[in-house]
Copies of this chain bind each other. A is one copy, B any other.
Amino acid sequence: MAVYTRIGAEAMDALIARFDVGTLTSAKGIAEGVSNSNWIIETTGKSGGGARFILTVYEERTEVEELPFFLNLLDHLSAAGCPVPRTIHDVDGAPFREFVTDDGETKHLALIEFLPGVSADNPTPGQAEAVGRALAGIHLAALDYPAQRKNTMGHAAWRGFVADCEGRWGEIDSALEVVPTAVEDVIARWPRGLPQSVIHADLFPDNVLLVGDSVSGLIDFYFACTGPMVYDVAVTHAAWSFSGDGKRHDRAVGDAILRGYEAVRPLSSEERAALPIMSEGASLRFLLTRAYDWLFTPAGALVTKKDPLAFKRRYDFYQREGAGAFA
């Protein structure tokens, strides 16, 4: 949670004026997003009725060359009826803009549709089923998305994190010393040739807005990439069906994710068979980034460190349960 960029009122006025959305009436920095800065923006709207947007300023960790992939994807999915915020294009038709901050740095920003809804903390099976349906919906809608993007959090990245953390697992917890072996084991057993689409790859409860049991928004597509659809199901299962610390698995929620997904897009037998190993891999992927952040985030950084063990426990669960983890 943080706002890393300072934009004064006059500068904000001028930035918003580059979009055909009326004049600025309010701008409040929000405590969301770990890599980018975000504001809730209010304007008079084009017809004077008032309108709201999320303004995102991309900070160091986002590659500008990748913005068209992410921002056009939102438009593609939204046009297909998925609950995804549209990108507001500027008066020149561009989906993002360069600007100079008050501190003289050149950065990039985009204006995104504001969607209502709140994120679930203790998801119900009803909510999980809706999330499964929405996930299948974006997979199907993205099948004809023309662009591709490599998963920057794939196997090569896993090995990179393992190398970075070498010899230091015990600083977090000795239970993590098996991680290098587990990573190589999962990569060795990784199935190939599964059906691909654009996957969200980070669909945690934080990234889903709900109104009651309905999904009003899937957000934060900045890890979206081309990949096996069933890996996204595994990420979502790992993200939703455990207590935050990974100690308690909620079978009803996990089953509901799958039930919702398959109501829209049934898994093939190959995908079904891949679920356990994909889930082990998904658990390791988040274990690794958390371990890296744990060891390398400078003291005093404006982010909360998350416990890598929460995903070691998920990994252990999936290894132990195998296919029995899934309905």
Cβ of A210: which chain B residues have Cβ within 8 Å of it?
Answer: 9
Cβ of A302: which chain B residues have Cβ within 8 Å of it?
Answer: 302
Residue of B nearest to A11 (CB): B121
Residue of B nearest to A211 (CB): B25
Bound together, the chains give a CA A262 to CA B27 distance in angstroms of: 31
Bound together, the chains give a CA A117 to CA B8 distance in angstroms of: 13
Confirm or deny: A300 has a beta carbon within 8 angstroms of a beta carbon on chain B.
yes
For the complex formed, measure the closest distance between the CB of A157 and the CB atoms of chain B, giving whole angstroms. 28
Confirm or deny: A119 has a beta carbon within 8 angstroms of a beta carbon on chain B.
yes
Bound together, the chains give a CA A186 to CA B13 distance in angstroms of: 41
Bound together, the chains give a CA A305 to CA B254 distance in angstroms of: 45
Confirm or deny: A10 has a beta carbon within 8 angstroms of a beta carbon on chain B.
yes
Secondary structure of the A side of the interface?
A: mixed
Per-residue contact bits, chain A 8-39, to B (CB 8 Å; 1 contact, 0 not): 11111100000000001111111110000000
Q: How large is the interface on A (under 10, 10 to 19, 20 to 34, 35 or more residues)?
A: 20 to 34
Confirm or deny: A178 has a beta carbon within 8 angstroms of a beta carbon on chain B.
no
Cβ of A79: which chain B residues have Cβ within 8 Å of it?
Answer: none
Contact B29 A30 (CB under 8 A): yes
Contact A2 B31 (CB under 8 A): yes
For the complex formed, measure the closest distance between the CB of A298 and the CB atoms of chain B, giving whole angstroms. 9
Per-residue contact bits, chain A 56-82, to B (CB 8 Å; 1 contact, 0 not): 000000000000000000000000000
Considering only residues 196-226 of chain A, those with a C-beta below 8 Å from chain B are 209-211
Cβ of A42: which chain B residues have Cβ within 8 Å of it?
Answer: 116
For the complex formed, measure the closest distance between the CB of A294 and the CB atoms of chain B, giving whole angstroms. 15
Bound together, the chains give a CA A121 to CA B6 distance in angstroms of: 10
Cβ of A11: which chain B residues have Cβ within 8 Å of it?
Answer: 121
Per-residue contact bits, chain A 98-123, to B (CB 8 Å; 1 contact, 0 not): 00001000000000000011111110
Considering only residues 106-162 of chain A, those with a C-beta below 8 Å from chain B are 116-122
Cβ of A25: which chain B residues have Cβ within 8 Å of it?
Answer: 116-118, 211
Bound together, the chains give a CA A11 to CA B2 distance in angstroms of: 23
Cβ of A211: which chain B residues have Cβ within 8 Å of it?
Answer: 25
Contact A116 B30 (CB under 8 A): no
Contact B116 A8 (CB under 8 A): no
Confirm or deny: A1 has a beta carbon within 8 angstroms of a beta carbon on chain B.
yes
Contact B119 A9 (CB under 8 A): yes
Which of A8, A27, A31, A302 has the largest number of chain B CB atoms within 10 A? A31
Bound together, the chains give a CA A122 to CA B9 distance in angstroms of: 8
Cβ of A120: which chain B residues have Cβ within 8 Å of it?
Answer: 8-10
For the complex formed, measure the closest distance between the CB of A247 and the CB atoms of chain B, giving whole angstroms. 16
Per-residue contact bits, chain A 257-281, to B (CB 8 Å; 1 contact, 0 not): 0000000000000000000000000
Told that A28-B32, A300-B300 touch, could you supply 11 new A-B pairs with CB distance under 8 A? A1-B31, A2-B31, A8-B120, A9-B118, A9-B120, A9-B210, A10-B121, A25-B211, A26-B116, A27-B118, A29-B30
